[in-house]
A and B are shown apart, each in its own frame.
Chain A
Amino acid sequence: MTARAAWLALCLLIGAVQVHAAADPGGYSAADLYNLGNSYARMGKPGMAILNYERARLLSANDPDIEANLQYVRNSAHLTAEKRGTFDRIARIASPFLLSWLGALGLGVIGASLIGAQFSPRHRLLRASAVLLGLSMLGLTICNGLAIWPVLHEGVVIAAAAPVRVSPVPMGDPLFTLPEGETVKIAAEHESFALIETRAGRTGWVAHSNLAPILPRK
């Protein structure tokens, strides 16, 4: 009975994946965004190129071409190289799309194992292994979320020299300027300005027209 329930859950998941994947054929794809980044790089727009590489990396985390071109444009624009830690590499071992379903499957495995234990005390080792596997799958999804969460709140400077102002108004006194392609953390937004924080910890307000969030605005 446990095996039948697990099989049914797996079939449901696969069906849902297929339905979800086919839901929006006109959306984003990693290849499109990567090619778009290449196009902007060829046009001499490092800011837009980096933005699209970052967006492509959200869909295809470990694509070596995306990584290579992103670092190449960063270096060419004399921007600080981005260093990825071990946790980030492991957490982004697969795309968030795949890891989402992996997490759901992990939930199913854990649930099936727990229910099976209610019906039969036999096969304890098998059930424990299944729970551990499910927890691993779920944990990987959670780690992916933790690794991606900061990226979802970052933006890329797309203007040649974006003035960072002391207040969210166009006539606010400029504090400093950001180079094109710089990636900054978006802490808050007010009307047509975003409160940013650089990697050096400096903060200020940048006009939306000068800054594009990695996760596109609705």
Chain B
Amino acid sequence: MSGYIRFFRLMTAVVMGAFFAAAAAWADDPLVYATIQPAQIALGESAQFTITNLGDGTNPITLPVVSGLKFEIIGRTREMQIINGTMLPSSSIVMRVTPQIAGIFTIPAVTPKAQPLVLQVTAAPGGTSLAQAAPRAPLPPPILSGGSIPKGVHLTEDGSAYVRLSIPKREVYVGESVPVDIEVGMRSGFVSSLNGLPKLTDDNFALNNLSHQPERAEKLINGEQFVVFTWRSILAVVKPGTFALSAEAPLTVKIRTRPRRESALDDRFGDPFWQNLFGATVPKDINVTSPPQELKVLELPAEGRPADFHGAIGTFSIASDVSPAKADVGDPLTLRMRITGSGNFDRVDSAMLDRVDQWKTYPPKSSFNTSDPIGFSGMKTFEQPVIASKPGAQELPGLSFSYFDPNARRYETARSAPLSVSISPSLADSVAPPQAAGGAGPENGYAPGLRPDHADTTTRSSSLMPPYLQPRFLGIPSIIVLAFAAGWAGARRRRPLRESEPADRPSSRAAKRVLAQMQAAARAGNAAVFFDLARAALQPWLAARWQIEPDEVTTAEVEARVGTQNDIHQLFALADESKYSGRELRATDFAQWLRVVRQVLTNESST
């Protein structure tokens, strides 16, 4: 620490001495002047551009604009200066000048009387330069010169960082998962920040399961202290071919604004404090890339590819089991297949059992338990629900799983042994439990409150379905309904003979009136009126039956239709006879013919 203080005092004295020595020479200079330090830098570094205004600060100051240079104000100072014994107030604007390209730049004067400044920017390795012809400035010496650097470590030019990609093999297959390590080393104090996750520079590859939290370690590389972050990941290969693969990481490093030879002391101390103190470094975002590695990607062979191959590449083994080993019909069992090993588990798949006699199978589901952070090795478990459809000793066939072994360079099929299961009849479908049917089961808490069993004296039914919902029973009421419907229809068919033309049939009231008149005529002994009433009453009725006009119902017509032996014909004949002969009848004759007419009119006769 005392060395630092002595150095600080020494530098302060040197600066103040320089100011006093220059005061005499600058007394007649313009009141505004600019300086740039250093005048020669490398691309990626920055220089400090200072505009100093001596006096009251009324002189206008124009900020320079130069194509290819970026000016950023980083500070303003105000102080008193003694020049030639005169105290002058001064103010300064300190700017950072960062070149965008290499070349020789002329910074215009800040005042008309001032002189322009020149900044020479040398090209970085592999970069482009606007002034190729210009003599290239010698590069600052590397920090880590001499000594050994670990294999695969390629430091950046300023020795501040490196990226290393570790691939365990040089030949892989399309679809194969390859575990890789990406190591990013950052020299302590020279790297401000890591701005993102490392990635591959080739789009034909993908990093899967890249951890967001890398492993952190500190290492001494070539005598310098480095903070090393290591990501583990799985390299997935997309297409065949030969590729140069490298990884890159975005970093922010501290760029020196002074030539390296001037900051060698800072490097020697290994502490950026001194650089920051004098504004000697600026941050810069860069991508650090690992040295390319050649990787040959092969196609999977088409020969010998199993039908159930789903793209699994690696080294695997399988085992299977079923639980429970004893179950009832309808109980779901779980068939498990465990695939253990290492490889691309995302392509490890199995349809398990598809269709098996006497088993109902369901689609399986899978779960993966990894034994490493990147999911390269572990155990994938497939669980498939299966349900036995019949009781008895059943057997589940063995399972198989096909994969490609990249070490053996051939397809392999792993198989498991068949599994035996004992299936009992379902409890829900059983009518009587064998042991408990007689009530001999073990007693428990339910027993005390139960009412006793019944003697089986009731009738038995073939089904618990109510008979009125059984097709066999429904036939009986159907027959009944049909039989009665047929009878009712038959009876209805007979009714039209009596009721089809109710207007033509004498109503009961009219019949009663006619009968009453006939009775009156009988009592008076007037046969002509009696038979005339009887014929007049029967004519409409007969006309309706014979479908003729009532006037057409004559004695001849009646004789033609019903014959001479019929009561109605005799009645018509007697009516004619009594009308023209004045025949007398006895009381019994009146009663007889009155009965005949009544029977006809009240429909009790079967004529």
A residues neighboring B (CB under 8 Å): 5, 9, 12-13, 16, 20-21, 23-32, 34-36, 38-44, 46, 48-49, 51, 55, 58-60, 65, 68-69, 72-73, 76, 96-97, 99-101, 103-104, 107-108, 110-112, 114-115, 118-119, 141, 144-145, 148, 152, 158, 169-171, 191-192, 207-209, 211-212, 214-217
CB distance from A186 to the nearest CB of B (A): 12
Query: Which residue of chain A is the closest to B427 with respect to CB atoms?
Result: A158
A49 vs B451: C-alpha distance in the bound complex, in angstroms?
A: 13
A34 vs B331: C-alpha distance in the bound complex, in angstroms?
A: 27
| Chain B residues whose C-beta falls within 8 Å of the C-beta of A96 in the assembled complex | 466-468
CB distance from B462 to the nearest CB of A (A): 3
Chain A binder among B296-304, B408-416, B480-488: B480-488
CB distance from A55 to the nearest CB of B (A): 6
Known: A28-B464, A111-B484. A217 touches B429 (CB 8 A): yes
Most chain A CB neighbours (cut-off 10 Å) among B362, B426, B466: B466
| Chain B residues whose C-beta falls within 8 Å of the C-beta of A103 in the assembled complex | 468, 477
A25 near B427: Cβ-Cβ < 8 Å: no
Point out the residue from B362, B481, B484 that lies within 8 Å of A171, measured CB to CB: B362
B488 near A114: Cβ-Cβ < 8 Å: yes
A104 near B450: Cβ-Cβ < 8 Å: no
B447 near A41: Cβ-Cβ < 8 Å: yes
A111 near B488: Cβ-Cβ < 8 Å: yes
A-B contact pairs, 26 of them (CB 8 A): A24-B460, A27-B462, A29-B459, A35-B456, A36-B432, A38-B439, A38-B453, A39-B440, A42-B444, A44-B444, A49-B446, A65-B452, A69-B451, A99-B468, A104-B480, A111-B483, A114-B488, A115-B491, A118-B492, A145-B466, A169-B362, A170-B387, A171-B365, A192-B387, A212-B428, A212-B429
Point out the residue from B385, B459, B481 that lies within 8 Å of A21, measured CB to CB: B459
A38 vs B441: C-alpha distance in the bound complex, in angstroms?
A: 10
- Majority SS of interface residues in chain A? helix
Query: Which residue of chain B is the closest to A118 with respect to CB atoms?
Result: B491
Cβ proximity bits B413-427 to A, threshold 8 Å, 1 near / 0 not? 000000000000011
A5 vs B436: C-alpha distance in the bound complex, in angstroms?
A: 51
| Chain B residues whose C-beta falls within 8 Å of the C-beta of A58 in the assembled complex | 464, 466
A73 vs B451: C-alpha distance in the bound complex, in angstroms?
A: 11
Known: A29-B459, A31-B458. A42 touches B362 (CB 8 A): no
- Majority SS of interface residues in chain B? loop
B85 within 8 A of A: no
B458 near A30: Cβ-Cβ < 8 Å: yes
B461 near A59: Cβ-Cβ < 8 Å: yes
A39 near B330: Cβ-Cβ < 8 Å: no
B355 within 8 A of A: no
CB distance from B425 to the nearest CB of A (A): 11
B217 within 8 A of A: no
Question: What total of chain B residues lie within 8 Å of the partner, measured CB to CB?
Answer: 66
Point out the residue from A29, A170, A215 that lies within 8 Å of B385, measured CB to CB: A170
A108 vs B438: C-alpha distance in the bound complex, in angstroms?
A: 43
A100 vs B480: C-alpha distance in the bound complex, in angstroms?
A: 13
Known: A43-B442, A111-B488. A29 touches B456 (CB 8 A): yes
A152 near B465: Cβ-Cβ < 8 Å: yes
Known: A41-B447, A207-B330. A145 touches B480 (CB 8 A): no
| Chain A residues whose C-beta falls within 8 Å of the C-beta of B491 in the assembled complex | 115, 118-119
A23 vs B470: C-alpha distance in the bound complex, in angstroms?
A: 14
Point out the residue from B447, B451, B461, B480 that lies within 8 Å of A108, measured CB to CB: B480
Cβ proximity bits B494-533 to A, threshold 8 Å, 1 near / 0 not? 1100000000000000000000000000000000000000
| Chain A residues whose C-beta falls within 8 Å of the C-beta of B473 in the assembled complex | 20, 100
CB distance from B12 to the nearest CB of A (A): 76
Known: A41-B450, A107-B477, A111-B483. A215 touches B465 (CB 8 A): yes
| Chain A residues whose C-beta falls within 8 Å of the C-beta of B468 in the assembled complex | 96, 99-100, 103, 141, 144-145
B443 within 8 A of A: yes
Query: Which residue of chain B is the closest to A214 with respect to CB atoms?
Result: B464
Query: Which residue of chain A is the closest to B385 with respect to CB atoms?
Result: A170
| Chain B residues whose C-beta falls within 8 Å of the C-beta of A101 in the assembled complex | 467
| Chain B residues whose C-beta falls within 8 Å of the C-beta of A31 in the assembled complex | 453-458
4 additional contacts (CB under 8 A) given A25-B460, A27-B463, A107-B480: A41-B447, A42-B447, A44-B444, A145-B469
Query: Which residue of chain A is the closest to B470 with respect to CB atoms?
Result: A100
